[in-house]
Copies of this chain bind each other. A is one copy, B any other.
């Protein structure tokens, strides 16, 4: 026994060339679907179609679900109708919904007739929920019990219907109108005395989500309450689906990546590096950089405004990158802390005052240290000591201001329902640059006694 995935892409290609289909089929059977996905990723479409023919129906559906959207589209165009039907028959409703959501319309039209009537109704229902909502993420394949059942009856039911369910480890208890009233785990059912009523052992304090809730909130629920599945109810509190933790793990990783990318203006529909097309990524990146470039117009205007004193005390210019850099870094630090705190749910808008006070203190502390260091540093560049004093004072005040802007701006944006991760870059940098430059030159003017 060893960790899976000894089969390489080269070996697969050589099996296919030698027409060693039977051997390849046997080798593939000993692999797990995520490892087959890694091999298939690097094959040509025609080779991919061949490999799919060698997989069992169930494995084919699993592997297909895990492929990139582009590969899926390409394969659907090359599969026979029969293969398409095999694959989509076996796919979970939530994966199927995600697929139909992202495929081009003409392909969807071709596929719809190949769906079973039940799948068709499920997919069209789930697609009606907003993007990134619990409704989109959930699956209707859950186990539903009425509270009058005994544990034995419940276990018998699970054995009967469990095969097609997303999880058999939680059963949801509903009333006659399918409204959620409790949850019971398979563990509780198995460990309870046989013949006990489900009503007696179920938990009535159920953590649940509703169909329109954002997927990020669902992820927080599962992580906070340490549960592996959460039931989803509709407006009438009827149980309509469940979301399992495996889908949520992907959501957490995706949302973190999304936030990283937003902070530098590269939020893309696909969240991975190679999965995003050069053109889409290039356009996103260029747009954000151009916006920042245009906004930095303000800093040029500020500097132009102080051309007189700059002309007289040229060494003032030597410290511009250090000043804007230090203040920008300070602002990005406090912004990152607050943005991440808001994203994980640790910081709430109600913490405004507490954060404000803490960051005023922190800014003061950082301002003193950085002001002192920049004064000393100016000395080493060997300039007029008055320049050093101007640099030190400007850094001291600007760091306090930048630190506050960095921490407060994300809070304000969150209150205005604007995503705080987007704000970190453009706003903070621009505001911080302009304020620190104005402070710097005003202090310099004071020190060098030149009137505006």
Contact of A249 among B180, B252, B315, B324 (CB under 8 A): B252
Q: Which 8 pairs from chain A and chain B are nearest by CB?
A: A256-B256, A273-B341, A296-B322, A299-B321, A303-B318, A300-B318, A264-B333, A317-B317
Q: A324 and B326: CB pair below 8 A?
A: no
Contact of A340 among B222, B260, B299, B326 (CB under 8 A): B260
Q: Say yes or no: is A208 at the interface (Cβ < 8 Å to chain B).
A: yes
Which residues from chain B contact A237 at a C-beta distance below 8 Å? Answer: 1
Contact of A332 among B206, B264, B278 (CB under 8 A): B264
Which residues from chain B contact A246 at a C-beta distance below 8 Å? Answer: 226, 228, 245
Q: Say yes or no: is A32 at the interface (Cβ < 8 Å to chain B).
A: yes
Q: A297 and B222: CB pair below 8 A?
A: no
Closest to A333 in B: B264
Which residues from chain B contact A328 at a C-beta distance below 8 Å? Answer: 325
Q: A333 and B245: CB pair below 8 A?
A: no
Q: Say yes or no: is A135 at the interface (Cβ < 8 Å to chain B).
A: no
Q: Say yes or no: is A265 at the interface (Cβ < 8 Å to chain B).
A: yes
**Residues 306-320 of chain A: 1 if any B CB is under 8 Å from the residue's CB, otherwise 0?**
010011001101111
In Å, the complex CA distance between A392 and B200 comes to 75
Q: A321 and B320: CB pair below 8 A?
A: yes
Copy total for this chain: 2
Closest Cβ of chain B to A325, distance in Å, is: 5
Contact of A333 among B32, B250, B256, B265 (CB under 8 A): B265
Q: A190 and B373: CB pair below 8 A?
A: no
In Å, the complex CA distance between A383 and B347 comes to 46
In Å, the complex CA distance between A206 and B315 comes to 66
A-B contact pairs, 29 of them (CB 8 A): A1-B180, A158-B190, A249-B249, A252-B252, A252-B256, A260-B260, A260-B336, A261-B337, A261-B340, A273-B338, A273-B340, A273-B355, A288-B329, A289-B329, A292-B326, A292-B329, A293-B325, A293-B326, A296-B325, A297-B377, A299-B321, A299-B325, A300-B319, A300-B381, A303-B318, A303-B320, A317-B320, A324-B325, A325-B328
Which residues from chain B contact A326 at a C-beta distance below 8 Å? Answer: 289, 292-293, 296
Q: Say yes or no: is A224 at the interface (Cβ < 8 Å to chain B).
A: yes
Contacts A162-B187, A300-B381, A307-B314 given; indicate if A205 touches B289 (C-beta within 8 A): no
Q: Say yes or no: is A429 at the interface (Cβ < 8 Å to chain B).
A: yes
**Residues 275-309 of chain A: 1 if any B CB is under 8 Å from the residue's CB, otherwise 0?**
00010011001101110111011011101100100
Which stretch of A17-25, A117-125, A359-367 is in the interface?
A359-367
